[in-house]
Amino acid sequence: MGKGKKAMLEITKMKMTPALSAEHQRKWDESRWECKMDDPERNYDKSRAHLNFEVRKGAVIAPVDKSVCIKEKVDARIAEWKAERLAEKGVEPKVRSTQHLSVCLVMGGNSERLNELAFGNQVLQERGSNAHIKRMPEIVQFALDNYMALSERVGEKNIISFIVHCDEKNCHIHATITPILKDGRLSAKDMFGGNSLVAARDKMREWHDWYAAVNEKWGLERGDNIHVTGAKHRNLDEYHRELKCEIREMERTKAKEQTILESIKADVKTATTRKEGLISMITNLENRQKDASGKLSSLEERLAAGLGNKEKILAQIELCKASLSKYEADLSDKNAKLEVAKQTLSSLTSEQEKVQLELSHMNLQIERLDSEITELESKKESADEGKATILGIFNKGDLAKARKKISDQEDEISQLRKQVLELQTEKAKVLKDAQAKVEEVKKSHAEQMATLQRRAQKAEAERDSLKQTIERLQLKIAELDKIAHPERYRLSSGAELLHYFIPNRMDPTLHIWTKVGSSDISSDATVM
């Protein structure tokens, strides 16, 4: 298949006209075909017109239907849509005069690749007849793939015509659709554009990406983005002026040719009258010659038979011979003049036909240019609509006011940014101060905790010291009590009470230590 063979998709929002419909359907007479065939570029080939076909509803392949104009089909679909909306919403939708009822898509690609799909290895004659060329099944499948993909994208009901042209230098598809969205609205802008230039550009990129994906299997890749290539479209106004100038020049030429034609027509009429007069004169002379010849024969017969006065008959015979001689000379002169008149008339008729053919060619060219201007005006109308939409975004078209508003908003934004910066600075300062206070509190807390800890350690030391003092004093008291009251320390068992201790007064348990002989005995007793 080869690398670098580009897919081509051209989308045009235009008003469908009978002339444009005739172009798509090839609804041309012989003179129109002759005009197309005389094109130096030789873009059209009538001998291949039989290879053209269309895809109808249900993906049916059929010859191009020329019985109904595409414009009538568009109008029928719009009427059907209105009826559907009326049944659904209870109100018939209004269609603005600026709305596009149809959109034309030209679907094709690399000429070499498309011709390969259409004709295979068959050799096309550049100037000769190609009536023997057969259509390949690959071009049919290519068309079906594109038809099904387009049906899925816009809805099959909205495909008004889908015609494949195999009679031009580059094979391609002409698809006419009604831009009715899935939500039921009629909007070419939403289907192929948006409310801004960016949105419209993104939407067109989306369409081209879609078309490239559909035809990747056919060896066609996405065309280069004009934003990358730097390609520029011709200014619409400039192109419009050029077309208008071309039409004016052609109209002037047409007027001159028309004047020449009228003069030639007058000359033809004069030459025809002269020719007819000469023919009438010749016919009259021939009749007279015939009559004189008959009279001469009669007189010669009477003379030979000896009837009548011989001298008188001879005189009449001489008069008849003189008349015949004169008629013969007149006839020769008139026949010569008739031949000149015929040649003149033939030349004038040929010139007339030539001028008429030239005028017919000019009329066709003017018709084509008018169609292009109509199409261009439709595009310009669409562009103006987009411009109005864009300007509408800027406060109903008041661009200066919009720019002022934007400038004011930018100033406001600048002030807000300044305030934000000030707040951020203040926030940083507050955070810093807060952090310092937190550190100060943490430091104070640590110092207090250290002081309390030292005090606690000192208290514990003092408690331990007091405890030891109490224990010493208790031992001392016990020894003194033992000395003072020895009877309290003698048990019935004969053991000697050494000392006692009650650790918990709420749940008293008595711990006593006694001595029997040389052994110390410890025991517990519950005090009731």
Eight-state DSSP code of residue 124? P
Specify the pLDDT at position 501.
Answer: 60
68: Cβ–Cβ under 8 A, 6 or more apart, which residues? none
Closest CA to 100 of 79, 120, 74: 74
What is the CATH number assigned to the segment(s) 248-393?
1.10.287.1490
Query: Residue 316 is encoded by which pair of tokens?
Result: 């009449």
Specify the pLDDT at position 63.
Answer: 95
Burial classification of residue 252, based on how many CB atoms lie within 10 Å of its CB (0-12 exposed, 13-18 middle, 19 or more buried): exposed
Specify the pLDDT at position 508.
Answer: 59
320: Cβ–Cβ under 8 A, 6 or more apart, which residues? 292, 293, 295, 296, 299
Specify the pLDDT at position 24.
Answer: 93
Specify the pLDDT at position 326.
Answer: 82
Provide DSSP, 482-515.
HHH-GGGGB-TTSPEEEEEE-S-SSS-EEEEEEE
Alpha helices in 187-235 (DSSP H): 188-192, 197-214, 226-229
Specify the pLDDT at position 527.
Answer: 45
Spatial separation of the C-alpha atoms in residues 388 and 399, rounded to whole Å: 11
HEC string of 224-275? Answer: CCHHHHCCCCCCHHHHHHHHHHHHHHHHHHHHHHHHHHHHHHHHHHHHHHHH
Show pLDDT as tens, one digit a residue, over the chain (528 residues).
445 688 999 998 878 888 889 889 999 888 778 877 776 656 788 999 999 999 999 999 999 999 999 999 999 999 999 999 999 888 888 888 888 899 999 999 888 999 999 999 999 888 788 999 999 999 999 999 999 999 999 999 999 999 999 999 889 999 999 999 999 999 988 898 777 777 778 888 899 999 999 999 999 888 655 444 444 444 455 555 656 666 676 677 777 777 887 888 888 888 888 888 878 888 887 888 788 788 778 878 877 877 778 788 888 888 888 877 887 888 788 788 888 878 887 877 877 777 777 777 667 667 766 666 666 666 565 555 555 555 455 444 455 665 666 666 666 666 666 666 666 666 566 656 656 665 665 576 567 667 766 776 776 777 777 777 767 766 766 677 666 666 655 655 555 666 566 665 555 566 666 665 555 555 555 444
Specify the pLDDT at position 161.
Answer: 96
- CATH entry, 7-232, from 3.30.110.60, 3.55.50.30, 1.20.1730.10, 3.30.930.30: 3.30.930.30
Per the CB < 8 A criterion, the answer to whether 54 and 62 are in contact is yes
Beta-ladder partners of 172: 165
Specify the pLDDT at position 351.
Answer: 75
Specify the pLDDT at position 31.
Answer: 78
333-to-253, 278, 284, 319, 327 alpha-carbon distances in Å: 42, 10, 14, 21, 10
For 54, the 3-state DSSP assignment is strand
Spatial separation of the C-alpha atoms in residues 355 and 377, rounded to whole Å: 32
Q: Is the dihedral of CA 15, 19, 21, 23 positive or negative?
A: negative
Spatial separation of the C-alpha atoms in residues 37 and 129, rounded to whole Å: 12
One-letter amino acid of 202? D
One-letter amino acid of 403? R
